Amino acid sequence: MEDQWLADYEAAQQTANETLQLIQERNLQFPEGGPEASRITATCRRKLGTLGGLLDGLRTSLEGPQLAGLTENERNRRRDLVAALRSRREQMLASLKREAPRAARDTLLAGSGSSGGLAAAGAGGRETDATAELGNRGLLSMQQQVMQQQDDALESLERTVVGTKHIALQINEEAELHNRLLDELDEGVEGTSSRLAAAQRRLKLVMRRSGSCKTMVLLFLVAVVLVVVAVIGFKIAVHL
């Protein structure tokens, strides 16, 4: 059982060393924070949680009957080992908490930068003179103002688009009405053309017929004249 306690302690110590290495790596490679730094921070918190459970188990084992064969000096030495490891854990937790405001600030700045540059924060979430004077609450308020401005701008754009849509619909209705009128005008022109052609055909027929009548009238008049001449000649011959 003693060997198992030492094995558990070695595992806890290894976890603490790995966590410390991760924190140092994060601070060296990602001093300005960012997504990768946040990922490492989350991993460190999980490892520290595991470490806390291991330390609780080690402490409980020292106070239980499982290690009754240990001398008091050895038991105290192991208590000191657990306490030292717990102290390291608390220091690493404190280190992560000290970095949290900076990470949160970087996140807020990134959010302001990604919102179209309407806020005083610089593009890409860089610190500016305006944001340097603000705390995290001020940055959050600035970001909310930017988001509200964007919402107002989008609502105004929506109203403009809706108004433009109504105008376009009215123009479309007017165009359809004009097209119908043009279609009706085309039909009227076609009908008029047909009626005009028919009238022209009738006029030509009447003119042809009128020409035949004139010829007959002339022949009739000639015949009448001949008859009159014949009658007159006959009367003259009788008187002679």
- Render 48-114 in DSSP notation, one character per residue: HHHHHHHHHHHHHHHHSGGGTTS-HHHHHHHHHHHHHHHHHHHHHHHHHHHHHHHHHHHHHHHHHHT
Which helix H or strand E contains 128, and what residues bound it?
A: none
**pLDDT, mean of residues 92-112:** 64
d(CA 121, CA 110): 9
Which helix H or strand E contains 235, and what residues bound it?
A: helix 136-239
Position 213 scores a pLDDT of 63
Per-residue pLDDT reduced to its tens digit, 146-185: 777 887 888 788 888 888 878 988 898 888 888 888 888 7
Please name the residue that has the structure tokens 């309407």: 118
Contact predicate 8/55, CB 8 Å: no
Per-residue pLDDT reduced to its tens digit, 194-224: 777 776 777 677 667 666 666 666 666 777 7
